[in-house]
Amino acid sequence: MSLLGAIEAGGTKFVCGIGKEDGTVLERISFPTTTPEETMAQVVSFFEGKGVEAIGAGSFGPIDPVKGSPTYGRITTTPKPHWSQFDMVGYLRSHFNVPIEFDTDVNGAALGEYTWGAAKDADSCLYITVGTGIGAGAVVNGELVHGLSHPEMGHIMVRRHPKDSYEGTCPYHGDCLEGVAAGPSLSRRWGVQGAELTKDHPAWEMEAYYLAQALMNYILILSPQKIVMGGGVMKQLQLFPLIHSQLQQLLGGYLQLDETNANIADYIVPPQLGDNAGLCGALALAKKALAEA
């Protein structure tokens, strides 16, 4: 079985791994994200001489994942110092003569859960991460969704919870979904980190209200066969039943589908790849690169 290289390029840390086409990770390493020169040198040094036959990179963004575009392969307008316009695919190509697949971290995670995880029996799925930010990736008819660029589902508009007076953290939209429901909004609204709030704190009902609204829109627009919710905030597993019931209330019986009714607890689920979701996502991108080469 071929050896594959996986890069989970996060804004705080990079995780690199060597894995196989069945999703097994044989070896992994992690280091902080500093400058492209320093960080990418560590990436190259990890993979050199290991004989990987393809590399997949799931990256923080925004990025340009559209093949054929003049800026394909770059991290584009990130506010992260030093990384704006960095040509990651160009850099990797200059060191490794193997097929490379480059996408957002969440598209990678969606493909990983679709290939080996919670959505492996579906034709379509949505992976959402709720953490420092909110992002999502989608697989439709077995393919990742790109189009004009990559989805930016975290920034959709939501209705305000009637008891929420917090103005929102998003520098572009104020109180878009990410502005009112990502980790930083939780801690600013309640004055303590989300993880320190008790499991019956009203924060979770409000959080579930916003996430259920987002899911309603995602379901009505994409109709995914499975929804996987990961990221730091979703480690608060009490959110799942709250989201299930709020979503059913919002849908008002409109969709007469088992998935949104009796079987909702099997429809909206935590990642099966757990903390490996990001790295396995990059591995799934590498597998794709090899298959399409």
Cα 90–chain centre separation: 23
With a CB cutoff of 8 Å and minimum separation 6, the contacts of 50 are 3, 5, 18
With a CB cutoff of 8 Å and minimum separation 6, the contacts of 168 are 174, 175, 176, 179, 180, 185
Q: Closer CB to its own copies, residue 44 or residue 122?
A: 122
Q: Which residues bind its own copies (CB under 8 A)?
A: 76-77, 123-124, 136, 138, 140-141, 143, 145-160, 172-173, 213, 216-225, 250-257, 259
Q: Closer CB to its own copies, residue 41 or residue 157?
A: 157
Q: Closer CB to its own copies, residue 87 or residue 152?
A: 152
Q: Closer CB to its own copies, residue 3 or residue 140?
A: 140
What is each CA distance from 193 to 182, 197, 231, 236, in whole angstroms?
12, 7, 15, 12
Q: Closer CB to its own copies, residue 30 or residue 71?
A: 71
- Rounded to a whole number of angstroms, the minimum distance from the CB of residue 74 to its own copies is 13
Q: Closer CB to its own copies, residue 149 or residue 245?
A: 149
Strands (E), the chain: 3-9, 13-20, 25-32, 55-59, 100-104, 125-130, 134-140, 143-144, 227-230, 268-269
- Rounded to a whole number of angstroms, the minimum distance from the CB of residue 107 to its own copies is 11
Q: Provide the 3-class DSSP secondary structure of residue 77.
A: coil
Q: How far apart are alpha carbons 7 and 184 in whole angstroms?
A: 26
- Rounded to a whole number of angstroms, the minimum distance from the CB of residue 195 to its own copies is 28
- Rounded to a whole number of angstroms, the minimum distance from the CB of residue 57 to its own copies is 20
- Rounded to a whole number of angstroms, the minimum distance from the CB of residue 229 to its own copies is 16
First-to-last alpha carbon distance for the chain, in angstroms, is 16
Cα 39–chain centre separation: 21
- Rounded to a whole number of angstroms, the minimum distance from the CB of residue 262 to its own copies is 14
- Rounded to a whole number of angstroms, the minimum distance from the CB of residue 160 to its own copies is 8
Q: Provide the 3-class DSSP secondary structure of residue 288.
A: helix
| Order of all β-strands in the sheet with 13-20 | 25-32, 13-20, 3-9, 55-59, 100-104
Q: Closer CB to its own copies, residue 7 or residue 130?
A: 130
| Residue type (1 letter), 12 | T
